[in-house]
């Protein structure tokens, strides 16, 4: 166990091996933005909107926030929930927290009262950082509800107008103090898992392992100080944060450009203005970029795309390079640490049809049958994963840990995959009960629990239905005692403070849910029934 028994860490023998072989090098994430020479100090680190910040400016800003956090009594090891969009403050706040050894818990801007309160309670968070308003949402109102429900949250820090809370500008301090030097093997940040359970599981990533991920992904993508990384996905998600993402760009001494969304009307002008060399996209947006590239007359040459988070259909993959003029790499990644991807120099067939090879030689992966026996190449099975970036246990989740890992420490990814004859991974499906909605993961169990609280609902099952743009959407299949519309159901979830991306896109009412011989809802049969009804246009799907 690690961090006062909060989670099982990497066993000492494996940790020693990862250090001996140079994967873990004792780096600290708080050293991001520090500048080795004067030329680097003046270089642009972050671009957002019309503003540009140099390494030196952000380095000093992060120090002032770090000093302010210490002045206000934040201690190394404390947890602080950070819910910020793609703005420069996300970067300086995270780096300041790393410098103090306070652990950011990275929530998504889409999360609402239910999710944030759960995160605060689960981690005993002492602080919560928000923007005042963002895309029509007042996060101070959200903070009021969270503080009332989670008493450990002593301070809410607001980027912008603080109302009764503390403004980030007031928290900053100019009185320099010695900063603690967190142990590189300690937890640097907590990421949210694309979970399967009723509440999100938290992923403890250490300075050592995350620094390795930042360094190795950048190197293997050919991304160095001359690079420009464009962040169009939420930077709070591992894909845009650390593969190499915004933090990897800063570690490499490169420039990170922050965009609010991947929508072509924002992304394409930014690409024309800033000439990024690398960006990360979920497959749903690849389709949208292909649909609209002609209209915008976009020139994407010189850009490498990292596409992952959900299945990229082969026919879409094959269109990317001829139609967009950029280089495609496919990624299979998880917040839990496994990273498998094609490199820009890989043969095009490999890049169009597989998710490539793992990040490091020290990564071990197995494809197994239901009895955990390894299967032959080209045979589909369960993907298990272990290595220097992959966690050995979730944070404060003893029961989930017992089933999510094998006895010898492999993560059960919940994904179905095969290994090609030349050693590449191809993801073929999954067994875990989630809806992968354009890369955003929705736990069926979590949504079912919320819907079941509706007085008209007797039984419910939440399943994925295919969607051209999003890949999958969410369908709630209910047995109800009274009339219920999709709108009413969505309003109900809104009222419960559930993030909008988890609300069902469709509602189907049925007389009974099909059951397996064990008495559990038979989701395979349910999906088949839904598809059949949709085909014959008899569905009560709204
Ligand atoms: C990324 O991370 P998460 O934690 O949001 O989601 C992980 C899950 C995987 O277990 C798998 O079910 C799905 O997302 N997934 C894919 C995939 N890549 C991820 N399913 C099919 N094909 C793929 N290529 O999604 C993530 C983290 C870092 C980099 C990229 C993606």
Residue having the nearest C-alpha atom to atom 8 of ligand 1: 334
- Going from the Cα of 485 to the center of ligand 1, the distance in angstroms, rounded, reads 32
State the closest ligand 1 atom to the C-alpha of 434, by its place in the atom list counted from 1.
12
Complex ipTM: 1.00
Length of the chain: 542
Distance CA 323, CA 316 (A): 10
Distance CA 13, CA 233 (A): 37
Residue having the nearest C-alpha atom to atom 3 of ligand 1: 334
Give, as one character, the DSSP assignment of residue 334. -
Integer angstrom CA distances of residue 513 from 433, 442, 523? 16, 21, 9
Distance CA 176, CA 346 (A): 48
For residue 331, report the phi and psi dihedrals to the nearest 5 degrees. Answer: -130, 135
> Mutate which of 197, 332, 338 to test ligand 1's pocket (most atoms within 8 Å of Cβ)?
332
> Which tokens hold the place of 360?
């490091």
State the closest ligand 1 atom to the C-alpha of 306, by its place in the atom list counted from 1.
30
Residue having the nearest C-alpha atom to atom 25 of ligand 1: 309
State the closest ligand 1 atom to the C-alpha of 193, by its place in the atom list counted from 1.
4
> Which tokens hold the place of 477?
């299949």
- Sheet containing 425-430: order of strands: 364-368, 381-386, 411-419, 425-430
**How big is the CA angle at 432 (ends 428 and 438), to the nearest 5 degrees?**
65
- Other Cβ atoms less than 10 A from the Cβ of 500: the count is 11
What pLDDT score was predicted for residue 4? 60
- Going from the Cα of 249 to the center of ligand 1, the distance in angstroms, rounded, reads 21
Helix (H, G, I), strand (E, B) or coil at 9: coil
State the closest ligand 1 atom to the C-alpha of 430, by its place in the atom list counted from 1.
12
Residue having the nearest C-alpha atom to atom 22 of ligand 1: 311
- Sheet containing 202-206: order of strands: 166-167, 155-159, 127-131, 79-83, 103-106, 187-192, 202-206
- Going from the Cα of 31 to the center of ligand 1, the distance in angstroms, rounded, reads 28
- Going from the Cα of 25 to the center of ligand 1, the distance in angstroms, rounded, reads 27
| Rounded-to-5 percentages of helix, strand, coil across the chain | 35, 25, 40
CB-defined site of ligand 1, < 6 Å: 193-194, 238-239, 243, 308-311, 330-335, 355, 413-415, 427, 430, 436, 439, 441
What pLDDT score was predicted for residue 542? 36
> Which tokens hold the place of 145?
């509800």
What pLDDT score was predicted for residue 38? 79
| Residues near 154 by beta carbon (within 8 Å), at least 6 away in sequence | 73, 126, 127
Residue having the nearest C-alpha atom to atom 24 of ligand 1: 332
Distance CA 387, CA 409 (A): 9
- Other Cβ atoms less than 10 A from the Cβ of 438: the count is 20
- Going from the Cα of 440 to the center of ligand 1, the distance in angstroms, rounded, reads 9
Element (H, E) at 428: strand 425-430
Please give the full DSSP string across 165-227, using - where no structure is assigned. SEEHHHH---S--PPP---TTSEEEEEEP---SSS--EEEEEHHHHHHHHHHHHHHTT--TT-
Note whether 84 and 129 are within 8 A (CB): yes
Residue having the nearest C-alpha atom to atom 2 of ligand 1: 334
> Mutate which of 217, 333, 389, 434 to test ligand 1's pocket (most atoms within 8 Å of Cβ)?
333
Give the residue ranges of DSSP H helices in 418-458.
444-452
State the closest ligand 1 atom to the C-alpha of 413, by its place in the atom list counted from 1.
10
- Going from the Cα of 311 to the center of ligand 1, the distance in angstroms, rounded, reads 8
Helix (H, G, I), strand (E, B) or coil at 363: coil
The number of C-alpha atoms within 13 Å of 261 and in the hemisphere containing its C-beta is 11
State the closest ligand 1 atom to the C-alpha of 330, by its place in the atom list counted from 1.
24
- Going from the Cα of 415 to the center of ligand 1, the distance in angstroms, rounded, reads 9
> Mutate which of 308, 394, 471 to test ligand 1's pocket (most atoms within 8 Å of Cβ)?
308
- Going from the Cα of 413 to the center of ligand 1, the distance in angstroms, rounded, reads 10
Integer angstrom CA distances of residue 111 from 18, 27, 200, 308, 440? 35, 31, 11, 22, 12
For residue 54, report the phi and psi dihedrals to the nearest 5 degrees. Answer: -85, 165
- Going from the Cα of 284 to the center of ligand 1, the distance in angstroms, rounded, reads 13
- Going from the Cα of 334 to the center of ligand 1, the distance in angstroms, rounded, reads 5
The reply to whether the predicted model has a pTM over 0.90 is yes
What pLDDT score was predicted for residue 416? 98
What pLDDT score was predicted for residue 144? 98
**Is the preceding peptide bond at 369 cis, omega within 30 degrees of 0?**
no
State the closest ligand 1 atom to the C-alpha of 335, by its place in the atom list counted from 1.
4
- Going from the Cα of 133 to the center of ligand 1, the distance in angstroms, rounded, reads 29
> Mutate which of 309, 316, 416, 426 to test ligand 1's pocket (most atoms within 8 Å of Cβ)?
309
What pLDDT score was predicted for residue 261? 94
What pLDDT score was predicted for residue 347? 98
- Going from the Cα of 332 to the center of ligand 1, the distance in angstroms, rounded, reads 5
Q: Which long-range contacts does 168-176 make (Cβ < 8 Å, 24+ apart)? A: 168/65, 168/89, 168/93, 168/129, 171/65, 171/68, 171/69, 171/72, 172/61, 172/64, 172/65, 172/67, 172/68, 173/64, 173/67, 173/68, 173/71, 174/64, 174/67, 175/67, 175/71, 176/63, 176/67
Closest CA to 308 of 285, 282, 328: 282
Distance CA 218, CA 212 (A): 10
Note whether 479 and 513 are within 8 A (CB): yes
Note whether 218 and 224 are within 8 A (CB): yes
* Bridge partners (DSSP) listed for residue 60: none
> Mutate which of 216, 334, 441 to test ligand 1's pocket (most atoms within 8 Å of Cβ)?
334
- Going from the Cα of 196 to the center of ligand 1, the distance in angstroms, rounded, reads 13
> Which segments of 10-165 are extended strands (E)?
44-48, 51-54, 79-83, 103-106, 127-131, 133-134, 137-138, 155-159
Integer angstrom CA distances of residue 63 from 57, 58, 75, 172, 197? 10, 8, 15, 8, 38
pLDDT in single tens digits along all 542 residues of the chain: 665 689 999 999 999 999 999 999 999 999 999 987 878 899 999 999 999 999 999 999 999 999 999 999 999 999 999 999 999 999 999 999 999 999 999 999 999 999 999 999 999 999 999 999 999 999 999 999 999 999 999 999 999 999 999 999 999 999 999 999 999 999 999 999 987 777 889 999 999 999 999 999 999 999 999 999 999 999 999 999 999 999 999 999 999 999 999 999 999 999 999 999 999 999 999 999 999 988 888 889 999 999 999 999 999 999 999 999 999 999 999 999 999 999 999 999 999 999 999 999 999 999 999 999 999 999 999 999 999 999 999 999 999 999 999 999 999 999 999 999 999 999 999 999 999 999 999 999 999 999 999 999 999 999 999 999 999 999 999 999 999 999 999 999 999 999 999 999 999 999 999 999 989 999 999 999 888 776 544 334 33
* CA 282 centroid distance within chain: 11
Helix (H, G, I), strand (E, B) or coil at 39: helix
What pLDDT score was predicted for residue 36? 75
| Residues near 462 by beta carbon (within 8 Å), at least 6 away in sequence | 435, 442, 444, 447, 448, 451, 474, 475, 476, 477, 504
């Amino acid at each position: 166990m690690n961090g006062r028994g909060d989670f099982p860490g990497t066993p000492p023998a494996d940790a020693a091996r990862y250090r001996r072989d140079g994967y873990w090098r004792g780096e600290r994430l708080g050293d991001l933005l520090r500048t080795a020479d004067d030329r680097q100090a003046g270089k642009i680190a972050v671009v957002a909107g019309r503003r540009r910040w140099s390494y030196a400016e952000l380095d000093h800003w992060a120090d002032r926030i770090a000093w302010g956090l210490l002045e206000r009594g934040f201690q190394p090891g404390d947890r602080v929930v950070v819910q910020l969009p793609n703005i420069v403050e996300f970067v300086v706040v995270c780096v300041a927290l790393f410098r103090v050894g306070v652990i950011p818990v990275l929530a998504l801007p889409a999360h609402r009262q239910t999710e944030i309160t759960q995160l605060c309670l689960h981690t005993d968070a002492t602080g919560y950082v928000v923007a005042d308003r963002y895309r029509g949402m007042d996060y101070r109102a959200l903070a009021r509800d969270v503080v009332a429900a989670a008493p450990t949250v002593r301070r809410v820090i607001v980027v912008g107008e603080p109302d009764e809370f503390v403004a980030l500008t007031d928290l900053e301090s100019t009185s320099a103090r010695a900063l603690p030097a967190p142990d590189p093997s300690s937890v640097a940040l907590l990421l949210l898992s694309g979970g399967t359970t009723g509440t999100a599981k938290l992923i403890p990533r250490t300075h050592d392992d995350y620094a390795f991920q930042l360094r190795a992904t950048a190197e293997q993508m050919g991304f160095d100080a001359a690079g420009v990384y464009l962040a169009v996905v939420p930077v709070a998600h591992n894909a845009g944060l650390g593969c190499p993402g915004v933090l990897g760009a800063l570690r490499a001494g490169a420039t990170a450009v922050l965009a609010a969304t991947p929508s072509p009307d924002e992304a394409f002008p930014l690409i024309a203005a800033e000439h990024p060399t690398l960006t990360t996209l979920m497959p749903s947006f690849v389709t949208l970029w292909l649909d609209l590239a002609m209209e915008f007359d976009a020139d994407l040459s010189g850009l490498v795309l990292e596409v992952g988070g959900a299945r990229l259909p082969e026919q879409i993959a094959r269109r990317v390079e001829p139609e967009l003029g950029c280089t495609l790499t496919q990624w299979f990644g998880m917040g839990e640490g496994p990273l498998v991807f094609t490199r820009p120099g890989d043969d095009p067939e490999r890049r169009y049809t597989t998710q490539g090879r793992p990040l490091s030689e020290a990564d071990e992966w197995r494809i197994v049958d239901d009895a955990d026996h390894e299967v032959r190449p080209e045979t589909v099975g369960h993907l298990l994963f272990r290595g220097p970036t992959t966690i050995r246990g979730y944070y404060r989740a003893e029961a989930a840990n017992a089933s999510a890992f094998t006895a010898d420490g492999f993560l059960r990814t919940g994904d179905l995959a095969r290994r090609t004859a030349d050693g590449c991974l191809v993801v073929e499906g999954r067994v875990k009960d989630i809806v992968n909605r354009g890369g955003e993961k929705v736990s069926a169990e979590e949504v079912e629990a919320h819907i079941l609280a509706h007085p008209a609902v007797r039984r419910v099952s939440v399943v994925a239905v295919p969607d051209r743009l999003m890949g999958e959407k969410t369908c709630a299949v209910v047995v109800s005692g009274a009339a219920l519309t999709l709108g009413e159901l969505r309003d109900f979830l809104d009222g419960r403070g559930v993030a909008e991306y988890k609300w069902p896109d469709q509602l189907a009412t049925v007389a009974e849910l099909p059951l397996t011989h064990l008495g559990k809802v038979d989701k395979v049969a349910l999906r088949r029934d839904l598809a059949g009804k949709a085909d014959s246009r008899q569905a009560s799907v709204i």
